[in-house]
Chains A and B, each alone.
Chain A
Amino acid sequence: MSVVPLPHTLLDALRAEVAAASWFAALGEPLIEGDRADARTYADALGFGPIEIGLAHDWPEAERLLQTPGPSGWWDREDALRRTLLTEAEARYPERVLWTALTELTTHVGDLVHGKAATAAARMGHAAPASIHVAAGAAAQAVYQLAVARLAARKDSPFESKFRLFAAGRWPLGIVGSRLILF
């Protein structure tokens, strides 16, 4: 595969999607069918079988779930896929340019979602101060994963539906047993 210039239009479009997203606006709200559909698509694309969709109602409940030791296979599956996609993207684009673009994107997004997470935490109350950083880390990671997938030209990755959940104001907290928990 030949190395080509980085597609800045692709990254600009992603930045626009990030700007338009309703980050953390629906935390704790009752699930709607769109949430369930995106959650099932995400779990299916990660290779999980039929899965139940659960809801965390508030920040303390979300924090308890996230602090359970040893995140199950979902984290490892996501990361294995991210590494594969990054290798594919690195084969397409000049490495330093790719890394610089991803670093700058993540830095920009991190600052944006941090503020959104802080607003949601203030609105709902009872969030530990560190949890705002955790939420921002999760959201910025989702954008980074999506950017890598799109730069690798993989349109069917689970990172598309994961981002849609975030964009709809949700936070997918992970898969515990046979349940995918949304906040």
Chain B
Amino acid sequence: MTDLVVKTVEELKDAPEEYREAVAKLVISHAVNELYGAQVFDEPAIAYAPTAYAKWLTCRVAMEEYGHHVRFKQLGLQIGIPEERMVPGAGKKPLSIFEFPLKTWEEFVAIKLLADLAEILQVEDLLHCTFHPLRNLARATMPEERFHAQFGEDFTSELIKTPEGKATLQTAVNEYWPYLPKFFGGSKSRNNEIFRKWKIKQRTNDEMREDYVKRATEVATKYGLTLPEIREAA
């Protein structure tokens, strides 16, 4: 463990190479995944939204997700990451969940309810990051991430008012849930070890995954939904 604190982008230039590479990996990961999320889920969901109110609300969510990509990309550019490394298709493998195109409104609601909770945990872990520009970005992003998860809860509470709506939502949860704990990476991740060594991130992947499963179970239970058992260890 070290006590290194990097307060500005300029100071990063003098940080050890391992630290700089770790920061770059995290920024690239967030920039790419925010863009994937907006393109694969948020933007297509606008067409499935059942009312103009829901459509424009979804527009706003999509814009905010694109905005997160823009913010992370801008930070990346400031620290010298080429733009092409921060957009999909540039070598950064997408999370497996992004390989499943959205098919229904209920799927989108399930994703907002559960996948955005995973996003919140990832951003929370950066709130004490020793690279302060990334910490500040996490702080700025957090209220919007919370709003997106609340969006999931609000529309969940609408859908479960009818047995058909609840059943369709449960089907969507069953389909997507198995992919979500994998968001947190492998148990023996070398990257995570380096992130924690430099206090860029605070928790192990397994600690975060355990916390996520606990919180996701609580939110699903609140709405009478169940999370299917995941057979394969992440």
Contact = CB atoms under 8 A, between A and B. Distances in A.
A107 B67 contact: yes
A79 interface: yes
A71 B66 contact: no
Contacts of A66: 51-53, 56
A107 B70 contact: yes
A141 interface: yes
Interface in A155-183: 173-174
B147 interface: yes
Interface stretch (B57-65, B94-102, B208-216): B57-65
B64 A138 contact: no
Nearest to A139: B56
A16 interface: no
A138 B51 CA distance: 13
Interface in B35-74: 47, 50-53, 55-61, 63-64, 66-67, 69-70
B195 to A, nearest CB: 27
Given A69-B51, A106-B66, A173-B52, A138 B87 contact: no
B21 interface: no
B154 interface: yes
Interface string A44-72: 00000000000000000001011111110
B66 A103 contact: yes
A75 B52 CA distance: 8
A131 B151 CA distance: 12
A96 B67 CA distance: 16
B57 A134 contact: yes
A67 B66 contact: no
B56 A134 contact: yes
B53 A110 contact: no
Interface in A105-164: 106-107, 110-111, 114, 130-131, 133-138, 140-141
B63 A69 contact: no
A140 B63 contact: yes
Nearest to B68: A107
B87 A96 contact: yes
A65 B53 CA distance: 9
Contacts of A106: 63, 66
Nearest to A135: B56
Nearest to B87: A96
A137 B47 contact: no
A133 B70 contact: no
B70 A138 contact: no
Contacts of B53: 63, 66-67, 131, 134
A137 B56 contact: yes
A67 B59 contact: no
Contacts of B55: 71, 75, 137
Given A106-B66, A140-B63, A69 B57 contact: no
Given A107-B66, A133-B147, A70 B57 contact: no
Contacts of B61: 133, 137
A38 B188 CA distance: 61
B69 A103 contact: yes
A12 interface: no
A76 B132 CA distance: 45
Given A131-B53, A137-B60, 15 more contacts: A65-B52, A66-B56, A70-B50, A71-B52, A75-B55, A96-B87, A103-B66, A103-B70, A114-B60, A130-B154, A133-B57, A133-B60, A134-B56, A138-B56, A138-B59
Which 6 pairs between the two chains have the least Cβ-Cβ distance?
Answer: A137-B60, A137-B59, A137-B56, A66-B53, A107-B67, A71-B52
